[in-house]
Amino acid sequence: MDIEQLRRIANGVRRRDLQAVYEAGAGHIGGEMSVIDILTVLYFHTMSVNPEEPLDPKRDRLVLSKGHTALALYIVLAERGFIPRDEISTFLKPYSRLNGHPNRVKVPGVETNTGPLGHGLPVGVGMAKAARLNGDGWRTFVVTGDGEMQEGSNWEAIMAASQFGLDNLTLIIDHNRLQQGARLADTNEIAPLPPKLAAFGWAVEEVDGHDMEQICRALSRDAVTAGRPKCVVAHTNKGQGISFMSDNVAWHHKVPNAEQYKLAMAELEGAVQ
């Protein structure tokens, strides 16, 4: 799949995400918009997965540690064929399996339940270690937020991954510089992230998290350093693609009104012309 196709898929995911948040009256639209390009590359370019066999033992694994952006994952899974596209309209409705945080028991393609921040990377380290013990070649990818990297459990996992030499593990940090209610710099400023990960023995690469070509290169097998886990620090914008949401902390989980929805949809539709 070429770069232009990936861009079009990501734009379609953004539009469906906007619609679903508006109709549900809830969601985490800012962080969803920032991570959609990364998820699109993972599922349509990088990872070896089969929607017809979601539990294939040889599949690559993705852990969406920033589980509050589950809607973005659901839409990408739907576009990839794991769940019906029309099921997105049930998001957050009574008895829907599409809850505010992903559930592996209910949704095909979800590898582990996430929501409490700081849990995804430790789980991912366990997955990568299991693959190593079994002599398997599948890869594990973990997506975290940058605010989430304030959690101490992540740094314990970072130390373990380096100790075990897990070069089949890739951590992608959605570095949009914002967290719930404030900027990262105003809470617990952990940036710059690359030297910290490198100090623990990780191979680190920085990319524009909205540049499909850069993301594809950084996540490819050719970009793996033997014997070292990989961290991709993806510089992104919260609310990417929508002018009044972009880099605006208020849109962590704000819901657009009718006028804002119309404006945002027009901007996203215009971006594919």
> What are the tens digits of pLDDT across the range 67-121?
999 999 999 999 999 999 999 999 999 999 999 999 999 999 999 999 889 999 9
DSSP state of 189: -
DSSP 61-83: EEEESSGGGHHHHHHHHHHHTSS
- Nearest residue to 101 (alpha-carbon basis) of 88, 114, 117, 83: 114
Q: Over the stretch 199-231, which tens digit does the pLDDT of each residue have?
A: 999 999 999 999 999 999 999 999 999 999 999
Length of the chain: 273
Domains of the chain (ranges plus CATH)?
A: 3-270 (3.40.50.970)
Backbone angles phi, psi at 178, to 5 degrees: -130, 150
Q: How far apart are CA 126 and CA 169, in angstroms?
A: 10
Whether the pLDDT of residue 156 is over 70: the answer is yes
The overall pTM is greater than 0.85: yes
- Residue 172: both structure tokens together: 């992608």
Arithmetic mean of pLDDT, 175-196? 91
User: Which pLDDT value is given to residue 273?
Assistant: 52
pLDDT exceeds cutoff 60 at 12: yes
Strands 178-179 and 182-183 come out as antiparallel
- Name which of 163, 226, 219, 174 is nearest 43 in CA terms: 219
Provide CB contacts within 8 A for 195, sequence distance 6+: none
